[in-house]
Amino acid sequence: MTTRPRTLFEKIWESHIVRPQTADTPAVLYIDLHLVHEVTSPQAFTQLRERGLSVRRPNQTIATMDHSTPTTPRGLDGLIPILDPQAGAQLAQLERNCLDFGIPLFKLGSDKQGIVHVIGPEQGLTQPGMTIVCGDSHTSTHGAFGALAFGIGTSEVAHVMATQCLLQNKPRTMEVRVDGQLQPGVTAKDIILAIIAKIGIGGGTGYVFEYTGSAIRALSMEERMTICNMSIEGGARAGMVAPDETTFSYIAGRPHAPQGADWERAVEQWRTLPTDEGATYDAAISLDAGTLRPMITYGTNPGMGMAIDQPVPDPEALGDPSQRAALDKALNYMGLQPGQQLLGKPVDVVFLGSCTNSRITDLRMAAHVLRGRKVAPNVRMLVVPGSQQVKQQAEAEGLRDIFVEAGAEWREAGCSMCIAMNEDKLEPGQYAVSTSNRNFEGRQGKGGRTFLASPLTAAATAIKGKITDARELV
Amino acid sequence: MEPITTFSGTCVVLPIENIDTDQIIPARFLKATDKQGMGDHLFADWRYDEGGQPKPDFVLNQPEAQRAQILIGGHNFGCGSSREHAPWALQGFGFRAVISTYFADIFRNNALKVGLLPLMVAPEAHGQIIALCTADPGAQLTVDLDAQQVLLPDGTAVSFPIDPFAKYCLLNGVDQLGFLLSQDDAIAQYEDQHTARVTTVLH
Ligand code: SF4
């Protein structure tokens, strides 16, 4: 028995070693759950076919359709129409691949379909202590359950399909400690935007984050997912939160959760996962949640963020020429001036959705602000639930009616305007306040300009038609 | 995979910080189910105008760029999405290496898997290489993978780190999937000792 104190990360890492790391070779790491979607998998399946390989553990693999699926309302036939032939071909290819290789699939139109990082937790597939991968960088989301979850590329998708393993060098760990109590109107999204603004988008490169502290403990699972989701935006491949009672009660009773005596055994084991007293991290940062204000981004990467009532920074104030050029380029793209206030700036679109903020609590938060109010006439607001299950629940709770009565569009589940692979995109030059995770140039449509913010800020902005501090309205 | 040892070539200089994979290849080009033609979409939104015509002032549209083998980016290259389409597009255009001061983890992994070399060099050397290749677009750099060095025309050698296993695979044309498949006994043994933590099939 080892008595050395270990972090959450180390415990999971060590329990998944098939072959230890040596001076010459990375570790062979076992993967418990592989999530698959239509965009990053086709070429991996092709590789399997070319080499005559099968999927080693189809029953530890699950596929969904999310990135290129339309989110337009169903036709009279109850089907979601696919108008883009290329997207249609890609979706058909995934269906064929899943059939050929025996992989369970939540296809478009089924009642479990949704964004890959929404459905895993929702179905109880995401559990503490597991290793989870997906050909998608926001796989970090699942770390909210105390799992080691990270994004991989298509070559590695093929590796996991064929061997259920990955070659990995052990990453370093960083404790991201958030203590204190959030003020009203300030959310989990603001915590993570503040962290990324503080460390920069490369600040976590090479690290796995573990979020600790009283502010993290106080968050719901959905809020923890919002935070872990954007770990990659700080450069960290994975972010984790140690499992606790909040975690267990979220998982209990979900379709793939352990049942009966298995449940008791699982919880007992999950309780051993949190970082031991005295264990050390390779690096640490901290943040006081009590001092946070709602955050918004002003630039073209998620690290270019500030409190919503601050002025846009001035490139001239930056000493480093490369950073100055980067900020200059970003403000030029965004059509913003140094020193400008973003509060009061008119926007064209408000997008409520994405694997960061499309779960039931996110929709409730926004609906709370929108109840009995109207979306401003100059604004198009899209509400895109993260999954069919979220959609059904929101409809049952009456949230759909609140959104529709306010004048927002109520859509089918998918990635939608987070990535603009379907018809949901910004027009060149349009401004959007978006609850998604990336404000890169053109991310939400070629020439489109994105302000990342929380669901509260998004809802408040939709009502006023201009960037608004939600604290005025809640 | 073809072994990679040394090669020489000219460079394209694109010294922008934090070039993300959405710029390298915008998402609307990810609907393909193969790897064909990705090079045509490399940096599409910076490279083409609204009408789809090449913008003459963008570096990739200069005649010299067609023959270049090395892309020099700004700090923190390849952040954002995990799309392997990014290294495929860079390779499709003809690049065999990218030089930066550091790379996002997933991009670096993806690049090494497909034989595109992510060459991480010290900031001073990075500045020196940019100055050199900007002043003389015909300057040839030589990449020596075994020695882990980039050789400049004046004989200066700039070293870069690389994961030893990835280096071994690249030098010998060994593919990593083959290595993993050879671990079958160890994987089977692990599976015997650990019942699956979850199943995606509902009974
Ligand atoms: S919602 Fe956006 S970030 Fe999340 S998986 Fe879809 S495209 Fe990626």
Opening angle at CA A298, ends A296 and A302, nearest 5: 70
Are A39 and B25 in contact by the 8 Å Cβ rule? The answer is: no
Domain-located, residue B1: no
The minimum-distance atom of ligand 1 relative to the CA of B27 is 7
Helix (H) or strand (E) holding A359: none
Q: Which of A188, A204, A146, A209 is CA-nearest to residue A289?
A: A188
Domain-located, residue B65: yes
Closest-CA residue, ligand 1 atom 6, reads: A415
Q: For residues B15 and B86, state if they share a domain.
A: yes
Dihedral over alpha carbons A417, A419, A421, A424 (to 10 degrees): 10
Q: For residues B58 and B73, state if they share a domain.
A: yes
Q: What is the CATH number of the domain that holds B84?
A: 3.20.19.10
CA-CA distances (angstroms) from residue A379 to A11, A250, A406, A413, A436?
48, 35, 11, 21, 17
Non-local CB neighbours of A176 within 8 Å, separated by 6+ positions:
A195, A209, A210, A211, A212, A239, A284, A285, A286, A287
Non-local CB neighbours of A359 within 8 Å, separated by 6+ positions:
A118, A222, A225, A386, A390
The minimum-distance atom of ligand 1 relative to the CA of A419 is 7
**Whole-angstrom Cα distance, residue B92 to residue B85?**
10
| pLDDT at residue B54 tops 80 | yes
Strand ranges for B54-112 from DSSP E: 70-73, 97-100
In this predicted structure, what is the pLDDT of residue A1? 56
Domain-located, residue B144: yes
Q: For residues B188 and B200, state if they share a domain.
A: yes
| Ligand 1 binding residues, C-beta < 6 A | A 66-67, 115-117, 136, 138, 354-355, 415, 418-419, 436-437
Token pair for A363? 């929709």
How much distance in Å is there from the Cα of A66 to the middle of ligand 1?
8
72-111 of A, contacting B, C-beta below 8 A: 84, 86-87, 89-90, 93, 103-104
Q: Which region, left, alpha or beta, applies to residue A78 given φ > 0 means left and ψ of -120 to 50 means alpha?
A: left
Terminal-to-terminal C-alpha distance of chain B: 42
In this predicted structure, what is the pLDDT of residue B203? 61
CA-CA distances (angstroms) from residue B38 to A19, B85, B90?
36, 7, 8
Q: For residues B80 and B155, state if they share a domain.
A: yes
Q: For residues B118 and B187, state if they share a domain.
A: no
Q: For residues B22 and B45, state if they share a domain.
A: yes
Asked if the C-beta of B100 comes within 8 angstroms of chain A's C-beta atoms, the answer is no
Q: Which region, left, alpha or beta, applies to residue A260 given φ > 0 means left and ψ of -120 to 50 means alpha?
A: left
Asked if the C-beta of B165 comes within 8 angstroms of chain A's C-beta atoms, the answer is yes
Q: Which domain holds residue B182?
A: 174-203
For residue range B81-114, list pLDDT tens digits in order. Answer: 999 999 999 999 999 999 999 999 999 999 999 9
Q: Which residue of B has its CA nearest to A151?
A: B82
CB count, 10 Å around CB of A412? 20
CB count, 10 Å around CB of B126? 23
For residue range A10-24, list pLDDT tens digits in order. Answer: 999 999 999 999 999
CA-CA distances (angstroms) from residue B148 to B4, B142, B171?
12, 11, 11
Q: For residues B40 and B70, state if they share a domain.
A: yes
The minimum-distance atom of ligand 1 relative to the CA of A418 is 2
Cβ distance of A202 and B104 shorter than 8 Å: yes
Q: For residues B106 and B186, state if they share a domain.
A: no
Q: Give me the DSSP letters along A224-282.
A: HHHHHHGGGGGT-SEEE----HHHHHHHTT-TTS--HHHHHHHHHHHTT-SPPTT---S
What phi and psi, each to the nearest 5 degrees, are found at residue A179?
A: -110, 170
Token pair for A196? 């990324």
Cβ distance of B186 and A19 shorter than 8 Å: yes
Rounded-to-5 percentages of helix, strand, coil across chain A: 35, 15, 45
Rounded-to-5 percentages of helix, strand, coil across chain B: 40, 20, 45
Domain-located, residue B97: yes
Domain-located, residue B33: yes
For residue range A437-466, list pLDDT tens digits in order. Answer: 999 999 999 999 999 999 999 999 999 999
Q: For residues B108 and B155, state if they share a domain.
A: yes
Q: For residues B60 and B84, state if they share a domain.
A: yes
Closest-CA residue, ligand 1 atom 4, reads: A355
Asked if the C-beta of B183 comes within 8 angstroms of chain A's C-beta atoms, the answer is yes
Q: For residues B40 and B95, state if they share a domain.
A: yes
Please state, rounded to an integer, the average pLDDT across all residues of chain B: 96
**Whole-angstrom Cα distance, residue B57 to residue A250?**
54
**Whole-angstrom Cα distance, residue A399 to residue A373?**
13
Q: For residues B66 and B118, state if they share a domain.
A: yes
Domain-located, residue B17: yes
- CB nearest to B82's CB, from A152, A323, A438: A152
Question: A72-76, B2-6, B122-126: lowest mean pLDDT where?
Answer: A72-76
In this predicted structure, what is the pLDDT of residue B185? 98
Show the low-confidence residues of chain A (pLDDT under 50). none
Instruction: Give me the percent of chain B exceeding a pLDDT of 70.
Output: 100
Look at chain B and report how many structural domains it folds into.
2
Strand ranges for chain B from DSSP E: 6-9, 11-14, 70-73, 97-100, 117-120, 141-144, 149-151, 157-159
In this predicted structure, what is the pLDDT of residue A340? 98
Domain-located, residue B180: yes
What ipTM describes this predicted complex? 0.97
Question: In angstroms, what is the C-alpha Rg of chain A?
Answer: 22
Domain-located, residue B145: yes
CA-CA distances (angstroms) from residue A13 to A16, A134, A149, A354?
5, 17, 11, 29
How much distance in Å is there from the Cα of A260 to the middle of ligand 1?
34
- CB nearest to A43's CB, from B35, B109, B176: B35
Asked if the C-beta of B171 comes within 8 angstroms of chain A's C-beta atoms, the answer is no
Non-local CB neighbours of A265 within 8 Å, separated by 6+ positions:
A258
What phi and psi, each to the nearest 5 degrees, are found at residue B158?
A: -110, 125
Q: Which of B36, B35, B32, B53 is CA-nearest to residue B44?
A: B53
Are B13 and B136 in contact by the 8 Å Cβ rule? The answer is: no
- CB nearest to B31's CB, from A68, A129, A329: A68
Measure in Å the smallest separation between the Cα of B47 and chain A Cα atoms.
13
Terminal-to-terminal C-alpha distance of chain A: 53
Substitution target in A94, A166, A199, A201 with the highest count of B β-carbons within 10 Å is A201
**Max CA distance (Å), chain B:** 68
